[in-house]
Structure formats: structure tokens, C-alpha cells
Amino acid sequence: MRRFVPDLAPARMSDDSKRSNTTGKSETPAAWTFFRQWLKNPRAMAALAPSSRQLARQMVAQLPAGAQRVIELGAGTGVFTRALLEHGIAQRELLVLELNAELYGLLREQFPQSQVVNGDACDLDKIVKTSGFDASSGIDAVVSGLGLLAMPRSLQKKILKAVFSVLGPESPLIQFTYGPISPVPRDLLNELGLSMRRAGIAWKNVPPATVYVYTRSRSTSVRAVRVGDAA
Ligand SMILES: C[S@@+](CC[C@H](N)C(=O)[O-])C[C@H]1O[C@@H](n2cnc3c(N)ncnc32)[C@H](O)[C@@H]1O
């Protein structure tokens, strides 16, 4: 039986996306650049068009109060990046990760003071260590635009392990999906000691998208503290 993977947005752009910017010097519309990358690698892109500003605002609204140091995964043409900066995250406090080389080049051009890295979310722990991004006082949140739903469980697991290896004990992973349920299955959440919360739906996004917030389960944090205390 074929698995239904709805993380592929239709070609039509939302009003918000139409308002979105061009991609730097070439003045190529961001949506066209995005679509061209989808033609090259639909599985990695996992959507036909960039997210809407409505979805970006809903993602950013889930940042913990006072969040300063943030990592963004799968930034694409920078819709969430711009929303993070508008929210007040300083460019130098933002590490932006993008696997696609062309999109990475555009992001570097647009966000020159941020730490933009051409790399794989699976390697996040190594990237944080080697990039010079100052993570000494903790990462407050990871905002992910990755198409997790379209990924096999093994890849999801690699990425989640890498993400939670850099996040502080209470810090969240903020993720969206076009699917009707969490893109990370319950059994994987249990295996990794994670909890999830559905945080809202961006109806104007095409297609509508749901925002999920993942954190370490309370019981896991308590266990971790007890082990530390005993040592
Ligand atoms: C669904 S698009 C989202 C783009 C943008 N955040 C948005 O919402 O418009 C997914 C993005 O993740 C990038 N990506 C896919 N796999 C990745 C990985 N393993 N590490 C880093 N980026 C990845 C893709 O190149 C693409 O730009």
C-alpha cells in the first residue's frame, strides 16, 4: 500500500507567498527559485513553494519567552529566517542550516551577519561545534522547515537525536507539517523520550499547515537530574 505523504504543496502560491521577496541580486522571485530546486530534488524540498508569512509568524510565536539563540533547519528561501529576525532574534545569534547549495548561496547573500551553513541537519551537533556559533550559554530553540513527514523513520531519528543533543533541557524543536497528525510517530517520540504539543494551524498556508512543538518529556528530564545528582 502506498503511504500518503501530503508534504508536497500544490504549485499555487498563497497570497502571502506572492508577497514574499526576491532572492537577492538576480531579482529572481523566491517562489520560482524554490520550485526549480523542487524539480531537481522533490523529496528533499518536500514542498513546491515556500511557506507563507502566516505560517512563519505561527512558528516564531512558539519561541520560548526571551529566546535569544536560535538554530533554523532547512531555511529554503528564508521565510522563517526573516520572521525570526522580525521577532527580534539578532542575526549573529542565529545559525541557519540549509542542505541545498543554491539556496544556501542565496541565504548567505540575504543574511550576511547570520551564521549560514551549507550542511545536513543530521550533523547538527558537529556543525554547532565547528561553525564558531557560540552555543556556550545554550540554544533556546530549533525552528525546523524540514519535510520530516516525507523522511523515513531512521532519518527522522538521526535528525531528532542531533537536534536534542544541542538543545537545552527545556528548549523546544518547533516544526510544521501538512499532514493531519504529528510527522514524528508516537513510538519514535517515546523511544527518544520526547513529548509533543499541537500549537496551531496556519489556514492561509497552501496547503494549511500545523505547527508542532517537541520537548523532552518531563519524566526524562527528572530522570536525567537524578542520575546527575547521584554521580
Ligand atoms: C519544505 S522546505 C522548507 C523551506 C522553508 N523553511 C520554508 O518553509 O519555506 C525544506 C527545506 O529543507 C532543506 N533540507 C532538506 N533536507 C535537509 C537536511 N537534511 N538538512 C538541512 N536542510 C535540509 C531543503 O533543501 C529545503 O530548503
In the reported structure, the alpha carbon of residue 146 is separated from the centroid of ligand 1 by a whole-number distance in angstroms of 4
Walk me through the domains of the chain, giving residue ranges and CATH numbers.
15-230 (3.40.50.150)
Residue nearest to atom 5 of ligand 1 (CA): 76
3 secondary structure, DSSP code: P
For the stretch 184-201, pLDDT in tens is: 999 999 999 999 999 999
For position 17, what pLDDT does the model report?
39
pTM: 0.85
Tens-place pLDDT, residues 56-84: 999 999 999 999 999 999 999 999 999 99
- Best residue for ligand 1 mutational test, from 34, 98, 166, 174 (most atoms within 8 Å of Cβ): 98
- Give the Å distance between the CA of 216 and the centre of ligand 1: 23
Residue nearest to atom 11 of ligand 1 (CA): 74
